[in-house]
Amino acid sequence: MIPVPLSPQPVVSEAETWRPRFHYTPSQHWMNDPNGLCFFDGEYHLYYQYNPLGIDWGHISWGHAVSTDLATWQELPVAIADTDRSMAFSGSVVVDHDNAGGFALVGAAAPALVAFFTGFDPVTKIQSQHLAYSLDRGRSYTRYAGNPVIDIGSTEFRDPKVFWYAPKQRWVMLVVAALHQQVWFYTSTDLRQWDKVSTFGPAGSAAGNIWEVPELFELPVDGDAAHRRWVLVVSVNHGSLWGGSGVQYFVGDFDGECFAADPSEPANPAPGSNALPAIAHITLWADHGRDFYAPITFANLPDERVLWLGWVSNWDYARALPTPAWRGQQSGVRQLDLAATPRGTRLRQRMADEMLALVEPEACVALRAMPATRAAAGLATANVNERQCVARLSVLASSIATPIGFELFKGKAEAVKVGFDPQQNTFFVDRRTALPKFAGQSERHDAQRLLDAREITLEAWVDGSVLEVFCDDGTVVLTDLVYAEIDATGVGLFHGAENPQVERLDVHTVRSTLKAPTG
Ligand code: FRU
């Protein structure tokens, strides 16, 4: 969180072309991690790390937005404000259906929403775990008089994730001991008194990183409800895949107290290598772009899905983003499961159905089964100009000898390339041309292909300055910020002289869900 020099401030109209139209941004001021995502009484809640007073990190409070469809968000007043001695750092919300915490009013039918967050004391720098409860449908929270509920006197101990573990009839809390690269596990029956039961870590990514925002959930493998595995997610800051912050995960088992990662998952081989190194606890990254951090799942969903979203930014340059009215954006809502791939069990992410519902049914261009030269010509003729769109491509893998993919944010001379490189067997986003080059951090990101399927597929969602790319059915995902010039709205296809076989290419506009905030 060290400020880096700002690029020259762009004119406001340019910044507004960078404002996502179907991804959440606050109307003004600073935002980082999503917090307390949950569903309650017909509404989805998105809380987030927010500075109500300014464009930079500070006065950290829980900002708030609600939605009834997971796509259109209404900004509401701050839900948990900072105080002189306690900023409200990241955390989670549970719906206390059985009133285990005793916070609901006597005789009230509606349960309390209970938020767990890290109270950060700006004077002592101590981080301890606090709770606050809401009796008004998540609009406002009362800090519990007995706070903190966990305090070990540490300055690096944060981001409580609480959930109900039905087999043992108790609540579980995960907290990171950030510098120790550990997740600490606690259990409780009343949400107030917590007992430490285990620790996990260090594991995975290189030493020197700090761990943040732990998350734990169970997912089916390839849609098989009888075959489920647990996934532990930790956001790591500094030294992640491309530098700065990123999200690693572990697949394993959880018994209500301890998480045990699978010991010998084969690693993703280095780009260009076919070897499968046998390293225990190799690092699996949830996203291979540079701008996806601190994702958490929605609690109390009315269906069996596991949905999450993350902050689209990177601590390396989050404070230098060239959007003067607001700073920070959340990803699309993604549905998760696990895929059994030839390289191991891996997280799979797809845009949730509610996001797909925003896609205009009529395509800007839809091409089927033709050589790449004809597909490129067809796309050029369609003259697609979109800053809010989804572009999909399927190509016969055996017909590709050189990189192929989309040119997005295409301007007069430049474009961001999103493609597949058959020599490296990687998917990539090359944003080196995206302007302005804040902090020199615009570059190419590669991610190893995990499947050996007959077709390679790309699905790229473009929204203002947010680019989310789901490759091979979401087994590889890359999220990157792109600050392209105001008129860089074209979509093209690039390919090599071997003229590969395009099975499908289409581009659709995605509807805006921007709403004005309410007081
Ligand atoms: C992650 C993080 C958390 C912390 C919050 C502070 O981005 O550093 O660990 O709670 O942001 O805003």
Residue tagged 């609009």 (tokens): 139
Give 104-121 pLDDT, tens digit per residue: 988 888 999 999 999 999
Task: Report CA(73)–ligand 1 centroid distance (Å).
Answer: 23
- Buried (b) or exposed (e) across 353-371, using 16+ Cβ within 10 A? ebbeebbeeebbbebeebe
Q: What is the pLDDT of residue 241?
A: 87
| pTM listed for this prediction | 0.94
Q: What is the DSSP letter of 268?
A: P
Residue 282: strand, helix, or coil: coil
Token representation of residue 346: 């891996």
CA dihedral 486, 46, 302, 94 (to 10 degrees): 160
For residue 82 and ligand 1, the question of a CB distance below 6 A is answered with no
Q: What is the pLDDT of residue 266?
A: 47
Q: Taking a C-beta distance cutoff of 8 angstroms, is the pair 92, 296 a contact?
A: yes
Residue 17: strand, helix, or coil: helix
Task: Report CA(294)–ligand 1 centroid distance (Å).
Answer: 8
Give 378-425 pLDDT, tens digit per residue: 999 999 999 999 999 999 999 999 999 999 999 987 899 999 999 999
Q: Taking a C-beta distance cutoff of 8 angstroms, is the pair 410, 491 a contact?
A: yes
Q: What is the pLDDT of residue 438?
A: 65
Name the average pLDDT for the chain: 92
For residue 347 and ligand 1, the question of a CB distance below 6 A is answered with no
Q: How far is the C-alpha of 215 from the C-alpha of 56, rounded, in Å?
A: 26
Q: What is the pLDDT of residue 10?
A: 43
Q: What is the pLDDT of residue 471?
A: 98
Q: What is the pLDDT of residue 158?
A: 98
Q: How far is the C-alpha of 112 from the C-alpha of 125, rounded, in Å?
A: 30
For residue 446 and ligand 1, the question of a CB distance below 6 A is answered with no
* Helix (H) or strand (E) run with residue 45 in it: strand 43-51
Q: What is the pLDDT of residue 519?
A: 44
Mutate to test the pocket of ligand 1, among 30, 32, 233, 291 (most ligand atoms within 8 A of CB): 32
Closest CA to 118 of 97, 73, 87, 76: 87
Instruction: List, for the chain, all residue ranges whose pLDDT scores fall below the cut of 70.
Output: 1-14, 206-207, 264-281, 435-442, 516-519
Residue nearest to atom 9 of ligand 1 (CA): 212
The residues assigned a catalytic role are 33
Q: What is the pLDDT of residue 311?
A: 98
Mutate to test the pocket of ligand 1, among 30, 159, 174, 215 (most ligand atoms within 8 A of CB): 159
Mutate to test the pocket of ligand 1, among 51, 89, 316 (most ligand atoms within 8 A of CB): 89
Task: Report CA(89)–ligand 1 centroid distance (Å).
Answer: 6
For residue 479 and ligand 1, the question of a CB distance below 6 A is answered with no
For residue 213 and ligand 1, the question of a CB distance below 6 A is answered with yes
* Overall size of the chain counted in residues: 519
